[in-house]
């Protein structure tokens, strides 16, 4: 499969980057919590928050993929490739859940 580039708008790209930087900050916070022997339940709640934030990033990236990449592939006659990629994405999302 050929390497493709993302077709993110500048606004969507900035939104994703901001969300990921927030997740990075949360991860640093979780590391500190563990270093400081913070109560387990509080750590678990923060981990859940990070997972939720990453799920949000994943949903936005998937939406962009459907709106742009898949449409472009189908218009370009690459329907089989679009379907194969979507099947891979669905498999990954199910495995991670």
* Residue 54 is assigned to a structural domain of this protein: yes
Residue 2 pLDDT greater than 60, yes or no: no
**Is residue 42 assigned to a domain?**
yes
Q: Is residue 97 over pLDDT 70? A: no
Output the domain CATH number for residue 69.
Answer: 1.20.58.1000
Please check whether residue 46 lies inside any domain of the structure.
yes
What is the arithmetic mean of pLDDT over 33-58? 97
Cα–Cα distance list, 96 to 10, 26, 49, 54 (Å):
28, 20, 16, 11
2 within some domain = no
What is the distance between the terminal CA atoms of the chain, rounded to a whole angstrom? 26
The number of domains in the chain is: 1
In a domain, 3, yes or no: no
- Note whether residue 56 is domain-resident: yes
Q: What is the pLDDT of residue 94?
A: 79
Closest CA to 49 of 25, 23, 24: 23
Q: Which domain holds residue 59?
A: 10-96
């Amino acid at each position: 499969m050929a390497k493709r580039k993302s077709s993110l708008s500048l606004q969507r790209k900035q939104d994703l980057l901001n969300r990921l930087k927030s997740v990075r900050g949360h991860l640093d916070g979780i590391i500190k919590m563990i270093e400081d022997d913070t109560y387990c339940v509080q750590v678990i709640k923060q981990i859940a928050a990070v997972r939720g934030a990453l799920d949000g990033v994943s949903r936005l990236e998937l939406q962009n993929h459907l709106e742009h990449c898949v449409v472009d592939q189908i218009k370009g006659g690459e329907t089989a490739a679009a379907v194969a990629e979507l099947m891979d994405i669905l498999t990954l999302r199910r495995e991670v859940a």
